[in-house]
Amino acid sequence: MRIAMGVEYDGRRYAGWQAQRHARSVQEALERAIARVADHPVRVTCAGRTDAGVHALGQVIHFDTDARRSDHGWRLGVTSNLPDDIAVPWARPVPDDFDARFSATARSYRYVILDRPVRPGLLDGRVAWTWKPLDASCMDAAARCLVGEHDFSSFRAAQCQARHARRQVFAISVQRQGDFVCLDVTANAFLHHMVRNIAGTLITVGAGEQPPSWVDEVLRARDRTAAGVTAPAGGLYLVAAHYPEHFRLPAPPAPPVFGY
């Protein structure tokens, strides 16, 4: 039997999603918790591997098991065996051809920036911060050139292992919510650090250091050195993985909204 689960986590205490020999990972914590409920070792596959310090509201995983548990039993049993900063909001059986990674048609991320003179205290490690006032409307206009299928080499980390840099961005927007500026982007897939590099580039525009047209120049350059800095991991959230309707998975959660 194949089981799919939704997973949310605070990434601050983890060296990323992927299991590592000498560091804490979200994958390791989940596999250990699921194994206790299933009463056998498991290996999980995720919709998208997140880096150290990156958070998730809508991560999706799958694993195979001979154990028979109710949906509620999987959800409650696994969550009760997880650290307090990881939870499983839903669990359900899926067809054997479901794959958390390869069945996904798109993934959505939100990047949250706090722009005010004083750094955050309560939200340290959960948002990015800049003391520079940002023009969200200008950032939104600059981002529009990224919609569509492009070579995103300018926004690709040097250590990225993807075979090629062509990705299709279905939607991207920047909006202000009080003291916060939120970048939302949905694409068929993402390169390593792609969202954080886009965020760093748009922050440069929002701060008035480059015009909106500069982002199109960066994209066309296909050169990582042409873009802005990599924005901090703490502002990034995997909001949702999207799947065909016939898999009947729960609707993705709403993006994170912060306030004081």
CATH number at residue 142: 3.30.70.660
- Asked whether 55 and 195 are in contact (CB, 8 A), the reply is no
- Asked whether 209 and 227 are in contact (CB, 8 A), the reply is no
- What pLDDT score was predicted for residue 259? 58
Question: Domain check: are 88 and 136 in the same one?
Answer: no
- Give the torsion sign (CA, 22, 25, 31, 37): positive
| Rounded distance between C-alpha atoms, residue 258 and residue 254, angstroms | 12
Structural domain total, the chain: 2
| Rounded distance between C-alpha atoms, residue 149 and residue 29, angstroms | 36
Question: Domain check: are 116 and 229 in the same one?
Answer: yes
Q: Which of 41, 68, 103 is the last residue of a domain?
A: 103
- Asked whether 60 and 50 are in contact (CB, 8 A), the reply is no
- What pLDDT score was predicted for residue 81? 98
Question: Domain check: are 137 and 52 in the same one?
Answer: no
Domain for residue 251, yes or no?
A: no
Ramachandran area for residue 248 (φ above 0: left; ψ -120 to 50: alpha; else beta): left
- What pLDDT score was predicted for residue 247? 96
- What pLDDT score was predicted for residue 19? 86
Question: Domain check: are 67 and 156 in the same one?
Answer: no
* 135 catalytic residue (yes or no): no
Domain for residue 256, yes or no?
A: no
Report residue 52 as tokens.
């150290």
| Rounded distance between C-alpha atoms, residue 9 and residue 56, angstroms | 5
Question: Domain check: are 116 and 80 in the same one?
Answer: no
Question: Domain check: are 57 and 118 in the same one?
Answer: no
Query: Which parts of the chain register pLDDT below 70?
Result: 259-260
61-108: pLDDT as tens digits: 999 999 999 999 999 999 999 999 999 999 999 999 999 999 999 999
Catalytic residue among 51, 85, 99, 179: 51
* Domain around 78: 2-103
Domain for residue 245, yes or no?
A: no
Domain for residue 252, yes or no?
A: no
Question: Domain check: are 113 and 230 in the same one?
Answer: yes
Per DSSP, the three-state class of 18 is coil
Q: Which helix (H) or strand (E) holds 46?
A: strand 45-46
Domain for residue 255, yes or no?
A: no
- What pLDDT score was predicted for residue 245? 94
